[in-house]
Amino acid sequence: MVWLALGLWTWLTDAEPMAINRACIGGCAPGTAGHWLGTDGLGRDVWLQLSGGALPALGGGMLAATGALVIGYVLGAGAAVAGRGGRVVPWWWWVLFVMASTLGGFWWRYRDIGVSTWVPATAVAILLASAFVLWREPAFVRKSRWLRGGLRPDRMLLAVTEVVSSVPALLLLLALAAISLRPSLLQLVAIFIAVRWTGFAVQALQEVRGVLGAPYVEAARGGGVGTFRLLTHHVLPNAAPPLLVKAVLSVGAFIVVEGSFAFLGLGLPPDQASWGRVLAQATSVRGGWWLWLLPGIPLVGCVLALQILARRWLGEMRK
């Protein structure tokens, strides 16, 4: 396992932001003379491409996995906590939330023109006020039957995640094309997060629910631990591990996704290295075995290493 982790790190540290397009051997000159791993069809050195491609793939992967993890965890844990024991968030809060987000959306959309300040100010005020009312639960809310009924936040989250996850990876491509045909690394990361967060959210919901029902939480509560400390010191750290494993696997998924996009020609701009693009040349260069074998090593290797890492970790946790 240590060896596999080492392999990972080698690729990371190998990332040199060097220019790839060496005009030295113009045209198709495949051969291992001078270039240790050969060149692709356009004369770019394979080794440089492979090492340069490590940074966007792995770095972007870690960024994307972290982002999806954080967003999914926060939403899932929040939903689990807010909906524990069948607790309900009152309907008027949902209404106010929708109103606030509409105002916020309006401000965001027309922010170039210059929106009156009262628009975003009202939105924020609504959110703060309703949060305050929810937190303190003043008497008039508790007593009035009319104001109390509502929807469970955990079920709402599940419904939302189901809608979002029903549309498969195609949505990735869609969003991609909607923005720009050749997205930057950050845009790729953003799209990946937007699609992957649902998996984290659903799992976070389950885990936090499980932890909340555990005896040690009850014991801590009985011992007089405050709510905030209870959350940060007891609940969240204990619910986190399976999600971290998922995050590791997501890094692998990002590598594959970025590679696929580069392969299809939709990926990073041509002046940035990418493993997938080297692979794409394999069919066009006759007899170019090094073009599919060599990129395959980091591609498969990284994903494999991550998989093994994640699963070993999971196995240890299970015991």
State the residues that interact with another protein by CB under 8 A. 102-103, 106, 110, 112-119, 158-159, 162-163, 165-171, 173-174, 176-178, 181, 202, 205-206, 209, 252, 255-256, 259-260, 263-264, 276, 279, 282-283, 289, 292-293, 295-296, 299-300, 303-304, 307-308, 311
d(Cα 32, Cα 172) in Å, to the nearest integer?
37
| 9-15 LR contacts (CB < 8 Å, sep 24+) | 11/51, 11/54, 11/58, 11/298, 11/301, 11/302, 12/54, 12/55, 12/58, 12/59, 14/51, 14/54, 15/51, 15/52, 15/54, 15/55, 15/58, 15/59
Cβ closest to another protein, residue 126 vs residue 255? 255
Residue 28: CB minimum distance to another protein, A: 16
Tokens, residue 247 = 């995050």
Tell me how far, at minimum, the Cβ of 191 lies from another protein, in Å: 13
Q: How far is the CB of 133 from another protein (least distance, A)?
A: 25
User: Which residue number, 93 or 261, has a Cβ lying nearer to another protein?
Assistant: 261
Nearest alpha carbon to residue 68 among 239, 194, 188, 168: 194
Q: Which is nearer to another protein, 22 or 313 (CB)?
A: 313
Nearest 5°: CA angle at 164, between 163 and 170?
A: 120
At 132, the amino acid letter reads F
What is the residue whose two structure tokens read 């397009």? Answer: 21
Nearer to another protein by Cβ, of 18 and 264: the residue is 264
Nearer to another protein, 17 or 168 (CB): 168
Nearer to another protein, 89 or 278 (CB): 278
Q: Which two tokens stand for residue 21?
A: 């397009």
Q: In the complex, what is the shortest distance from the CB of residue 111 to another protein, in angstroms, rounded to a whole number?
A: 10
Give 239-281 as a DSSP string: HHHHHHHHHHHHHHHHHHHHHHHHHHT-SS-TTS--HHHHHHG
Give the Cβ contact number of residue 259 at 10 Å.
Answer: 25
Q: Which is nearer to another protein, 116 or 227 (CB)?
A: 116
Structure tokens at 123: 């939105």
**Tokens for 259?**
């590679």
State the minimum distance, in angstroms, from the CB of residue 242 to another protein: 12
Least distance from another protein to the Cβ atom of residue 180, Å: 12
CB of 69 to another protein, least distance (A): 19
